[in-house]
Chains A and B, each alone.
Chain A
Amino acid sequence: MRIGVCYSRIRRDEKLLLTELRERDHDVEKIDVRKHRFGVHEPPAVFRDLDVVIDRCLATSRSRYVTMFCAAHDVPVINNFETAEICADKVANSLALAAAGVPTPRTEVSFTKAAALESIESFGYPCVLKPVTGSWGRLMAKIDSRTAAEAILEHKETLGHYEHKVFYVQEFVEKGGRDIRVLATDGTPIAAMVRSSDHWLTNAAKGAETEPFDLDDRASELVAAASEAVGGGLLGIDLMETPDGYTVHEVNHTVEFKALDAATDVDVPARVVDWIERRVAAGIDAPEVTAS
């Protein structure tokens, strides 16, 4: 296959993927999106004759637009624009999960400090304020008091980019100091791990400890449903365990898998490339039937 890998930084994840693709003798075209121009009437020359583009852009904004151009010019891309649009935005992500009936934390969005304070007070303390775009646990605030809430909201309202004036307020979920990351392809889990930390943020990027996790039937069912809710593809699905069962807080579309590869016995890049090969062979617009 001729495979284009769009990137702007080669992380360990991209390196694992590139190595696996090359070892299988695929013709890999590395596409540094910073060096290309994307015309509205025709796709960039580098996209021609590719069987598939793999979007591995580190910057969410670039990921959204690259997949948008792929969609506009009928260039097969993993993941597709629809999925990128949903996963790139926490509001769209939460709406998709809620609409699909996937348990997800109670969340409210507001546009002024006063309205956000009402959300915060109604959830009670602690609660969580998140940026609508972002990753790795950055700019997340666990709010423990009204005075903290007022200060954080004022900072966001005064100093922030316009997106920071979209206040995404979420109930605080007691997750027992850990959450679960599942890497899935069209809803079928490839590998799963728990991420544990004494800090309330348990992102691997924040240094959380990781260990393999065996998914039970309910977790697998929610992974499939969450994947379908955002349009399927190669996804990182995050779940928390609560006394009432699992809740899915996020689905990531340019998923990092180096931590999973290290934490589990699964050869993650091999499984990912297995799926890419099957998807391309079957026609990229035909997602695999989700496991149930």
Chain B
Amino acid sequence: MADDPIMAEDPLTGDEIELPADVEVGEIIDSPVTGAELEVISLDPVVLEEAPELEEDWGE
């Protein structure tokens, strides 16, 4: 039987959104509602926050 989908509240809109089954803490999710980047803060409970803005020294 498939696992229950991982649901979370979009912190910007309050909408309930579904996360990928293999989601990781620290991962960035594009909100299906607004397109905004959301960071996965925890999975138990599932908490999302608006992701940090791009910084100048980010990259590889």
Taking beta carbons and an 8 Å cutoff, which residues of A are in contact with B? 7-11, 14-15, 18-19, 30, 32, 58-61, 131, 133-136, 138-139, 161, 205, 236, 252-256
Residues of B within 8 A of A139 (CB): 56
Once the chains bind, are A136 and B26 in contact (CB under 8 Å)? no
Once the chains bind, are B58 and A135 in contact (CB under 8 Å)? yes
Residues of A within 8 A of B25 (CB): 10, 30, 32
In the complex where A15-B24, A18-B24 touch, is A9 in contact with B59 (Cβ < 8 A)?
Answer: no
Tell me the complex Cα distance, A165–B49, Å: 35
* Nearest-neighbor residue (CB-CB) of A133 within chain B: B57
Once the chains bind, are B39 and A9 in contact (CB under 8 Å)? yes
How many of B's residues come within 8 Å of A, CB to CB? 16
User: Cβ of B3 < 8 Å from any Cβ of A?
Assistant: no
Of residues B25, B28, B56, which shows the largest number of chain A Cβ atoms within 10 Å of its Cβ?
B56
Determine how close the nearest CB of chain B comes to the CB of A179; give it in whole angstroms.
Answer: 14
Contact of A10 among B26, B52, B55, B59 (CB under 8 A): B26
Residues of B within 8 A of A236 (CB): 60
Residues of A within 8 A of B40 (CB): 10
Tell me the complex Cα distance, A10–B57, Å: 16
User: Cβ of B27 < 8 Å from any Cβ of A?
Assistant: yes
Residues of A within 8 A of B27 (CB): 9-10, 15
Once the chains bind, are B26 and A256 in contact (CB under 8 Å)? no
Majority SS at the chain B contact face: loop
In the complex where A7-B26, A10-B27, A32-B26 touch, is A60 in contact with B39 (Cβ < 8 A)?
Answer: no
Residues of B within 8 A of A256 (CB): 60
Starting from the known contacts A133-B56, A134-B56, A255-B60, 12 additional A-B residue pairs (CB-CB under 8 Å) come to A9-B27, A9-B51, A10-B25, A10-B27, A10-B40, A59-B58, A133-B57, A134-B59, A135-B59, A136-B58, A138-B59, A254-B59
Tell me the complex Cα distance, A19–B57, Å: 26
Question: B1-38 interface mask toward A, CB cutoff 8 Å, 1 = contact, 0 = none?
Answer: 00000000000000000000010111110000000000
Determine how close the nearest CB of chain B comes to the CB of A118; give it in whole angstroms.
Answer: 27
Residues of A within 8 A of B52 (CB): 9
Residues of B within 8 A of A58 (CB): 58-59
Once the chains bind, are B55 and A59 in contact (CB under 8 Å)? yes
Once the chains bind, are A10 and B60 in contact (CB under 8 Å)? no
Tell me the complex Cα distance, A182–B56, Å: 24
Tell me the complex Cα distance, A7–B25, Å: 11
